[in-house]
Chain A
Amino acid sequence: MSGVPWGETRLVQGNEAVALGALAAGIDFFAGYPITPSTEVAEILAREMPLTGGKWIQMEDEIASVSAIIGASLAGARVLTATSGPGFSLMQEGLGYACMTEVPIVIVNVMRAGPSTGLPTQVSQGDVMQARWGTHGDHPVIALAPCSVEECFNLSIRAFNLAESFRTPVILLPDEIIGHMRERFTFPKQDELQVLPLSEPNVPVEWYEHYHQTASGVSPMARFGRGYRFHVTGLTHDVHGFPTRRIDEVVPKMNRLKQKITRRLDDLEQNEIHGVDESSVVVFAYGSVFRSAMAARDILAKKKKKIGVFRPVTIWPFPDRTVKEKLDNKDVIVVCELNQGQLIHEVERLTSDSVRVVPMQRYDGYGITPEQIVSKVMEVS
């Protein structure tokens, strides 16, 4: 196989779909360090990218990998790295740097069970909070959790578009089940895809501000070697990128970092909602667990029991508004997660005391089954 099989129907693996999505989005540069269960992403790109002159490099560790993709992005490339928990921990330094310096990068973290080396080949959703708060300091984050092979492909492309449009890192968070499962998938035709071109400033060189203040909070980014000479630093900086400690420059920078996300929540929010308005009991699930939730919903329907299912596709920023609007009037919300309780706190935060928020958790390296969700629902409602 070579390149993206546009328009064809194939049996495709989740990680493979992530890699092919990256190719479809026009990836120019990949740097990574091997780790299960993400290795397929790197291996497929190692085979594909040199064929078209794309740059692929295996670095000495994950700190180097994330650093290399940031350097490459600044030099004009569309960039990706892929990893899993232990490597994602090492990438937090670079993740924060890319947030602060507003460099578009995409990181795929195929979630396996932790902490530490944990269960290397087994599933988990334990990195959800690490994706949000793993690097130090206040910072914006965008994270997407696919639940199928098709979505691995589509969200991979979306991740590149969002990174470019928000000038910030985007984290793709498939869990191991999604990364390793195979499904029939029909690739779109090439002209059906929307891929954002890399931004280019169109102002004269002497007018260029690397962090120009705009209504959206994001300005077109110059790249090294194209005539705009600029400075990039992880120190808090002014609009030109030079270090500053002036309060009237520090505060606007920090506010803009936050507001470039909060002002465009509509562009980011993506949920899948089934029968929520008609049910007093709702299962909240994402990633592979959503599939079990949908199967449970069918089983329960046969038993004449109606439940709704709510899935955030974009998990960071969390869909506060929609969760409040759709779930705050329910009797019971069963939050199913492959961890000891991470997104459940977000649901609790957004719902009143009258709503019972019930955990359904598994953290033994296996997925949550439809039967487990069925019996939990029967137990609590």
Chain B
Amino acid sequence: MAAHLPYEYIYLRYKKKFPHVWCPGCGIGIVMGSIIRAVDTMNWDMNDILLVSGIGCTSRMPVYLDFNTLHTTHGRALAFGTGAKLANPALKVIAVMGDGDALAIGGNHLIHSARRNIEITTIIVNNNNYGMTGGQFSPTTPPGTFTATTPYGMMEPGFDICSLAQGAGAVYVARGTVYHVMELDKLIAGALEKPGFSVVEVLAPCPTNFGRANRLGDAVKMMESLRDGTITQVQAEKLPPEERVGKTVRGVFLDREDSEGYTARYARLCEQAAGGVSGK
């Protein structure tokens, strides 16, 4: 039987933990598939991989994957992950979070993890709202759109996740969508290869909440919107500015080589300290 299963099943706790909790048409499962395929290219031992998450629909992902898995508290995935990575730098730490998890309650941990350049691959599933609690607005809800807590339209501006990550010090920053899956596999693989703090924002539909509240159609329709509403960086360069309006750009925005990861730097600090180098 198992011989006929796709290789992705090697990584799934498929005998124990399925069916999963996500709604039909939800984008999170596609992100999980991409993570599996990207990890598969790395030739890592599954025993060395730690998948850490916060709380939310996205953060339910760890239970389904046969790594070391840590489902923490809302917003804290990176703080738990920082502790685990520093305690055992051999661990390959991947954090998955929703947009509320990563940017609202966990925003402080996100910017400080980026600043430290702790070696964690961070994947943020941006579905423009709080899925798990029933579709309230999040820091990435587009102005004017409707959610359970913006009945008159969103009045706050949102965060641009990729700009925030770059500004805070991440060394690899990319954006993909669950429509462009093969591209997403590559973006995530690029992030996994990076020995520093990397961020991949993944645009994904939440048809149950955000989709319904804004009459965006069914899951298929929302996928088509990802196809039609996003462009690659190359396309963006070619388009005249007026045609770029309203399009979200996909691709790798930053890939720096000049910054040493936190645990590598810490190891050097210990050597210096043991060798008698001190500020005092």
CB within 8 Å of B: which residues of A?
28-29, 31, 50-53, 55, 57, 59-61, 63-65, 67-77, 79, 93-94, 97, 223-227, 229-235, 242-243
Central interface residue in A65, A76, A232, by most chain B CB within 10 Å: A232
Of the candidates B67, B70, B85, the one having the most CB atoms from chain A within 10 angstroms of its own CB is: B70
Shortest CB–CB separation between residue B273 and chain A, in angstroms?
Answer: 4
17 A-B interface contacts by CB (under 8 A): A50-B274, A51-B274, A52-B274, A55-B87, A57-B82, A60-B109, A63-B79, A71-B52, A71-B72, A71-B80, A75-B50, A231-B69, A232-B70, A234-B71, A234-B72, A234-B73, A242-B63
B-chain residues with CB within 8 Å of residue A29 when the two chains form the complex: 83, 86-87
Contact between chains at B48 and A68 (CB < 8 Å): no
Give the residue of A60, A97, A224 whose beta carbon is less than 8 angstroms from that of B68.
A224
CB pair A72 B69 closer than 8 Å: no
Shortest CB-to-CB span from B21 to chain A, Å, is 9
Q: Is the CB of A225 within 8 A of B72?
A: no
Q: What residues of chain A lie closer than 8 Å to B81, measured between beta carbons?
A: 71
B interface, CB within 8 angstroms of A? 16-17, 46-48, 50, 52, 62-63, 66-73, 76, 79-88, 90-91, 108-109, 112, 266, 269-270, 273-274
B84 touches A72 (CB 8 A): yes
Assuming the contacts A29-B83, A67-B80, asked whether A229 and B67 have C-beta atoms less than 8 A apart, the reply is yes
The CA of A79 and the CA of B86, in the complex, are separated in Å by 12
Q: Are A75 and B108 in contact (CB under 8 A)?
A: no
Chain A contacts for B87, CB-based, 8 A = 28-29, 55, 71-73, 75-77, 79
Q: Is the CB of B108 within 8 A of A225?
A: no
Cβ–Cβ < 8 Å partners of B88 in chain A: 75-77, 223-225
Q: What's the least CB distance linking A187 to chain B, in Å?
A: 22
Contact A70 B80 (CB under 8 A): yes
Given contacts A93-B73, A225-B47, contact A72 B83 (CB under 8 A): yes
Shortest distance from the beta carbon of A102 to any chain B beta carbon, whole Å: 14
Chain B contacts for A233, CB-based, 8 A: 63, 70-71
A-B residue pairs, 3 tightest by C-beta: A71-B83, A68-B83, A67-B79
